[in-house]
Amino acid sequence: MQKDDFSNSYVVEGKLALPYTYFAGRLGSTFLTTLRDQARIMGVRCDKCGKVFLPPRQTCERCLEDIRDKWVALESTGVVVNFTVVRQQDKHLPRKTPYVLGMIKLDGADTPIVHIIEGVDPDKISEGMRVKAIFAPESEPSILLINHFEPAA
Amino acid sequence: MAEYYGVDVADIFNTMKSRFRPEGAEGVDAVFGYDIGEEGKWKLTVRQGEMTLDEGGDLSGCDVLVKVDGRTFVGLNIGKIDAMAALGAAKLKVEGDFNLFAATGKLFTKYVPPGQEVEQEQELVVLKRTISVNQRFATGPVMGTFLKGLKEKKILAIKCPVCGRLQSPPREVCAPCRVRNDEWVEIGPSGEMRMLEYCYYASPDPLTGETRETPYGAIGILLDGCRKDEVFWHLLRPDQLDAVQMGIVMGDKVVHGSRLRPVWSENRTGSINDIRYFEIDQ
Amino acid sequence: MGYKNKNRHVGIVGIGETKFSSHREDVNQPEMIHEAVRQALDDAGLGIDDIDCVVHGNMELFEMVHQPDMWHTLGTGAYGKSAFRLTTGGTTGGTLVSGADNLVASGMYDVVMAVGFQKLQEGHTTGGITNMADPLWARKLQSGALTAQAAVKVIAEFGEERARRAAMTYRIIMDKHACKNPNAHRAFHLEWDQIDDLMAHSPPLIGDLRLIHMCSQSDGACAIIFAEEKKARKISEKPVWVRDHITVHREETLNLANNYYPIDTTHRFAAEKLYERNGIDNPLEYFDVFEMYDPSAWWGLDWLRDFFLLEGDAHIRMVENREIMIDGKMPINPSGGVISTNPIGATAMIRVAEAAKQIRGDAGEHQVPGNVEHGLASSFGGTMWTVLTMLEKETNW
């Protein structure tokens, strides 16, 4: 079989740059402004299945109940239920590597959130570790209003 | 004067002074005319970070003249009506320098109707981002051969061994015949213009985010050696937009379009930019 | 063509549409989608447990979110269910309907919910469309979804004055319909005496395509629930039957050749095949309503000829004589169509939803007068894609 000739093949550099806008919506905005102005983390509870969701959502995706008004204040402490160590540096990452991304279940919540864990050697992190939120009220309104979590006593 | 949406047109003008933003007026030196139909006429002068407003009188000599009815004007100011929609429906007309009109949004803080100042709306969080990802596209041997041809000022087409159709830019296969194309043919470089897309609205270039100058012309050219639908897609020399004619084939009726030739770039890298544009060939 | 009759009948038993708008700062994507999902479930009288499978779709690059179906589980209710994602550009909504219909007809699932959405305010529509073009050539040239080719052709064939007047007449008819539809995004209350003014003064975009001719950029979602015949009759008092659908596309090239009618468009090809295999000799006589994916007034005007297999100026006369109005001989887009409302990934689905509402007889103020038994819906996308969907009141075909 004749081999293909690739002498005319080359690579063209390109870029995809497009602006977009994310709307948090009423529920997401309440969550973020409460986080910013009161340093308080709010979840929502589904009365039907009893689950407390964080981040909050308008609908319990399991029962499809409308839970937008069922706010519950959560503790800013919780437990690491899973984690990974990010070691490969990339311009899109929020921290210099190596750093720890953890799944943290706050006290009072049934669903974990993903966040950065600092103040602990990446090789010493473990499931079950108690952590607390460190707030950054000066940040733009995103989940980085919590700057990171760190080990709690 | 009539009220629209519970707002008096005059109140919007009367509050301009207190809503004026000198920082938004930086670099703006112009006279804005507002012709609000039966509601009256206003003349706004912005100079060196200050504004003056005159009611009534002659609006000739304004740098930009905004003609709009009272209802639409109030709607625009309180956010009930979208400016582009109003322009589209010809409810709002802008004469003169359109960019100046577009800048008026920055000159003032938002108008708040009387009595609604204290009504606290929930803060709705909006995050703006630009995703920017570097990409590397492999040309493959077919597109690569074509792009290499452009470097040598040659426009190449690939030919279907079954139906004889030419494709340029080329594709590896002829889709209707489901066969691999195998023969290269040089076409053009001159040809007949068929379709002209006379573009007044420019979209941003996704590679740079820059918006090109308008108007410009995207064209379909039937290069010499090509037939039927085998047109080549490129740009027209911008100053010849009004000097060209489209070719037509309608049944037996054939009208020939303008003859065009490519203008090549000095530095050719094997890209679409190797041809700057096509111009009238005479 | 490999076409086979369906295994079993499939009925539309629930319909949900959000209000369409360009200002939905109050909801995020799953919340907006959920509005349509909730409506469709309520309309069918079903709970989420009754749904076997969820089919989700939009057009990528407009919100710059990838795999949105995952995140949107919060709004679609797909948690723990079979789920698919379909995306075919402008035709996405029609493809969602085709996909859901096939899933039920095949016997794979008894009840399937299809959800189409778009939140164009969150991204850059024209930039997004341009980015879909071939990066080595067409990205530099493509002007988003804007083109004046239809205008060029209609003008060349029928003369400037007649063509422009017909296109603007079409536009005003669509606006009059949109004014009757509370969900429509843009309803300007245009008047007939504005035709000359609009022809002269609406800002030009490309050639003879003016801003007023072009569709809006909308946010919104549409959900439709499909069920197999036995369940459909149990769930709904008036299920609407998906009789047939056809998808036609051709290779990705823009035709800038300016070769004139008659040329074989995907619309005409699809229409011919669909009518032929369903034994429909005169589509104008047969259908009682047609919801057309008309992205601009020029396209809407021009495409009437393709969809109804017309010759000469018959399609122009239909518009000039206002036969396409809601109370005319062949009502087109009583909803106001795509020019008034275009949340792209939902748009083609809204055509099917609206045609189905007409057959049920509960479209509200924009209900076509008289008995509506046979509906047609079209989808359009890309460089010429067509999906046509046929809906019926009875299963007596």
- pLDDT tens digits along B137-195: 999 999 999 999 999 999 999 999 999 999 999 999 998 899 999 999 999 999 999 99
The answer, for A128 touching chain C at a CB cutoff of 8 Å, is no
What are the residue ranges in chain A where pLDDT is below 70? 1-5
Measure in Å the smallest separation between the Cα of C126 and chain A Cα atoms: 10
Which residue has better confidence, C331 or A21? C331
Contacts of B172 in chain C (CB under 8 A): none
Query: How many angstroms separate the Cα of C12 from the Cα of each of C102, C349, C355?
Result: 13, 12, 11
Q: Are C346 and C117 in contact (CB under 8 A)?
A: yes
- Residue C44 pLDDT exceeds 50: yes
Residue A10 maps to a domain: no
C152 phi-psi bin (left φ>0, alpha ψ -120 to 50, beta other): alpha
Q: Say how far apart CA B86 and CA B68 lie, in whole Å.
A: 9
Q: Say how far apart CA C256 and CA A48 lie, in whole Å.
A: 59
Identify any residues that bridge with A56 across adjacent strands, giving them in sequence order: none
Q: Say how far apart CA C133 and CA B272 lie, in whole Å.
A: 14
The answer, for C123 touching chain A at a CB cutoff of 8 Å, is yes
B276 phi-psi bin (left φ>0, alpha ψ -120 to 50, beta other): alpha
Chain A residue with the nearest C-alpha to that of C32: A25
CATH of domain C10-126+216-235: 3.40.47.10
Across C332-353, average pLDDT: 97
* Among candidate residues A138, A67, A78, the one with its CA nearest the CA of residue A112: A78
Residue-range domains of chain B with CATH: 3-107 (3.30.1050.10), 141-280 (no CATH)
Average predicted confidence (pLDDT) for chain B: 88
Residue A30 maps to a domain: yes
Q: Which residues of B41-56 are buried (b: 16+ CB within 10 A; e: fewer)?
A: bbbbebeeeebeeeee
pLDDT score at A16:
79
pLDDT score at B88:
78
Q: Say how far apart CA A18 and CA B193 lie, in whole Å.
A: 33
Optimal mutation site among A9, A12, A22, A111, interface C, most CBs of chain C within 10 A:
A22
Contacts of A57 in chain C (CB under 8 A): 30, 74
- Residue C250 pLDDT exceeds 90: no
- Say how many C-beta atoms besides its own lie within 10 A of residue A6's C-beta: 11
* Among candidate residues C23, C13, C15, the one with its CA nearest the CA of residue C343: C23
AA letter at B36: I
The answer, for A25 touching chain C at a CB cutoff of 8 Å, is yes
Find the radius of gyration of the CA atoms of chain B.
27
A140: Cα separation from own chain's centroid: 15
The model's confidence at residue C2, banded by pLDDT at 50, 70 and 90, is: low
Contacts of C36 in chain A (CB under 8 A): none
Query: How many angstroms separate the Cα of B160 from the Cα of each of B101, B112, C366?
Result: 53, 66, 51
Chain C residue with the nearest C-alpha to that of A58: C31
Q: Say how far apart CA A62 and CA A49 lie, in whole Å.
A: 8
Across C161-167, average pLDDT: 98
The model's confidence at residue B117, banded by pLDDT at 50, 70 and 90, is: low
pLDDT score at B116:
66
Q: Are B260 and B278 in contact (CB under 8 A)?
A: yes
Which token pair is C270?
């699809």
Measure in Å the smallest separation between the Cα of A93 and chain B Cα atoms: 13
Q: Are B71 and B91 in contact (CB under 8 A)?
A: no
- A4–B133 C-beta distance less than 8 A: no
Residue A79 maps to a domain: yes
- Residue C295 pLDDT exceeds 70: yes
Q: Are C208 and B198 in contact (CB under 8 A)?
A: no
Across C233-246, average pLDDT: 97
Measure in Å the smallest separation between the Cα of C28 and chain A Cα atoms: 5
Domain count, chain A: 1
Measure in Å the smallest separation between the Cα of C302 and chain B Cα atoms: 15
Across C124-130, average pLDDT: 78
Q: What 3-state DSSP class applies to A82?
A: strand
Across B20-46, average pLDDT: 89
Residue A143 maps to a domain: yes
Residue A55 maps to a domain: yes
- C131–A18 C-beta distance less than 8 A: yes
Residue A19 maps to a domain: no
pLDDT score at B144:
95
pLDDT score at B207:
64
Q: Say how far apart CA C212 and CA C361 lie, in whole Å.
A: 31
pLDDT score at B75:
86
Question: Could you read off the pLDDT of B221-243 as tens digits, one per residue?
Answer: 999 999 988 999 999 999 999 99
Contacts of C64 in chain A (CB under 8 A): 18, 20
Residue A12 maps to a domain: no
Contacts of A15 by beta carbon, 8 Å cutoff, 6+ apart? B132, B133, B134, B135, B206, B207, B208
Of A15-29, A102-116, B1-15, C279-293, where does mean pLDDT reach its minimum?
B1-15
Contacts of A23 in chain B (CB under 8 A): 124-126
AA letter at A123: D
Across B248-267, average pLDDT: 93
- A28–B125 C-beta distance less than 8 A: yes
Residue A16 maps to a domain: no
φ, ψ dihedrals at C228, nearest 5°:
-70, 160
pLDDT score at C139:
80
- Residue B268 pLDDT exceeds 90: yes
Across B79-101, average pLDDT: 81
The answer, for B85 touching chain C at a CB cutoff of 8 Å, is yes
Q: Percent of chain B beyond pLDDT 90?
A: 47
The model's confidence at residue C221, banded by pLDDT at 50, 70 and 90, is: very high
pLDDT score at B120:
59
The answer, for A10 touching chain C at a CB cutoff of 8 Å, is no
Contacts of A139 in chain B (CB under 8 A): none
Optimal mutation site among B122, B124, B125, interface A, most CBs of chain A within 10 A:
B125
Range of the domain at A79: 25-151
Average predicted confidence (pLDDT) for chain C: 93
Query: How many angstroms separate the Cα of A110 from the Cα of each of A51, A52, C68?
Result: 6, 5, 23
